[in-house]
Amino acid sequence: MKSGAMRRQASLSAQPRLVESNATDAIAVDRTAWIASRAYLKAGGRAFEPGHEIEDWLEAEAEYEQKGGQ
């Protein structure tokens, strides 16, 4: 049986924590969002036919890199 202090500590550690962000994190989020959006458009061009998700993502990544990450 857990003591009151142990229960409080367990509940505190289960709480979500805010994490400081930096410019690198923002760039990674922008990159991921751009790639996800482009992959979605590719899927839409095929009427969302299943089985091409990875292909769409990899093609979108390649496009992002070809554009110089912009």
The pLDDT of residue 28: 84
Question: What was the pLDDT predicted at 53?
Answer: 97
What pLDDT does residue 15 have?
61
Spatial separation of the C-alpha atoms in residues 16 and 14, rounded to whole Å: 6
**How far, in whole angstroms, is CA 12 from its chain's centroid?**
26
Residue type, 2: K
Q: What is the full per-residue pLDDT of the chain (70 aa) written as tens digits?
A: 555 555 555 555 556 555 566 778 877 889 999 999 999 999 999 999 999 999 999 999 999 999 987 6
C-alpha–C-alpha distance, residues 31 and 16, integer Å: 25
Residue type, 35: I
Q: What pLDDT was estimated at residue 34?
A: 94
Domain ranges in the chain are: 24-44+53-65
| pTM above threshold 0.75 | no
